[in-house]
Amino acid sequence: MERNPIQTVANDVINNPPTSLQDLSTKQSVLKCHRLMSATHIAGKFMYHVIGSEESPYSVKVRSYFRFKGLEHQWLERSQASELYTQHAKLPLIPLVVTPDEVGMQDSTPIIEKMEAAVPDPTVYPDDPVARFMSDLLEEFGDEWGNKWMFHMRWWKEIDAVAVSRRFAERSGGDIEATASAIRERMVPRVWFVGGNKVTAPQIAQSLEDALGHLEPHLKSRTYLMGERPAMADFGLWGQIYNAGRDPTAGAMVDKNPNVRAWVERMLNPEVRGDFESWEVLAPTLVPLIKDQVANLFLPWTVANSVAIENGDDDFTLELKGNTWTQKPQKYHARSLGVIRQKYQAVASNAALNEILDATACRQYLA
């Protein structure tokens, strides 16, 4: 990464201390000027602080994005940034991004969207309007349905819960086994947050296996989901699959798909290797994923979840791919559905997009 002028000037001040008041005034003026012009850090104080956790799919999603954009930032685990987090977080959630203007941003998708508006190049939005919307839809699918894969499978089986809780405990210090046990007691009952239960457990595992099976041939001939540079779809799906892939059961499933595993590794430090592909080129291997996972599972589920919340129901049940799905409503997802519907309405006049959404059976849930 090219050295930023502000860092150069800051280092000059440190390495060559002013020898007079005039010299001090000059150096201070130059430094102030570069501070206003630059989007980086001063002698170790980074422009952006990205506060999160390696175990959080949404945190690593944002970190991957910042790396792709080449934005100077400091990655801090939540435990390393208690004061900064308390000062800027409005909700008890990660990731939290603190800007150089001391503004806190939360929620991974809005963070990325705000940063895209501020720093548009290199873009994560395909020029092809059909490809762009389908990328946004896949990002939404990854964030909202893919989280079931990661969270449920992380805590459902003992082998995973033990491995993950120990990994968590090792970072906290102290008695690892006691801490790990306490973590399991807290986290295992929370699988219901993502709809995990005895009825849905095999369906969640099958969904991950099927999704990986669709992604494997799609990634055989391209570097990223939408071509030779990462798109919103990559960041949304990757955060979940990356974290799931670090755990025993889901990790073994990911390892059976070498093209997916290679993509997971690339997305740790994504880069531009070429252009986005047109939807016509992407469709043959991406449409099967959208039909099977987005149209048959995610969209009917998120609509049913939204209706349950609107009706004040304690739980809801529906049929997904011939299987009974039942769970307690998830409140956040109703808002998320509203956002993707708004994005569709903005491009609803696009005949080519509507043809694809009808062919994949998605439009009925978005209109």
pLDDT digits (tens, 9 = 90+) for 229-267: 999 999 999 999 999 999 999 999 999 999 999 999 999
User: All domains of the chain, ordered by start, with CATH?
Assistant: 48-118 (3.40.30.10), 129-366 (1.20.1050.10)
Mean pLDDT of the 142-158 span: 98
Q: Which two tokens stand for residue 157?
A: 């089986």
Rounded to an integer, what distance in angstroms lies between the CA atom of residue 241 and that of residue 265? 11
Longest dimension (CA), the chain: 80
- Pick from 139, 140, 143, 132: which is nearest to 276 by CA? 132
Mean pLDDT of the 320-343 span: 94
Other Cβ atoms within 10 Å of 296 Cβ, number: 19
Residue 166 pLDDT exceeds 90: yes
* pTM attached to this predicted model: 0.87
Contacts of residue 316, defined as CB under 8 A and 6 or more positions apart, other chains included, come to 304, 305, 307, 308, 326, 327, 329
End-to-end alpha carbon distance in the chain:
44
Lowest mean pLDDT among 48-57, 216-225, 330-339, 349-358: 330-339
Mean pLDDT of the 268-281 span: 98
- How far, rounded to the nearest angstrom, does the alpha carbon of residue 203 sit from its chain's CA centroid? 22
CB 140 within 8 A of CB 291: no
DSSP string covering 334-349: HHHHHHHHHHHHHTTT
Please state, in angstroms and as integers, the Cα–Cα distance from residue 98 to each residue in 32, 90, 271, following that order. Answer: 21, 12, 24
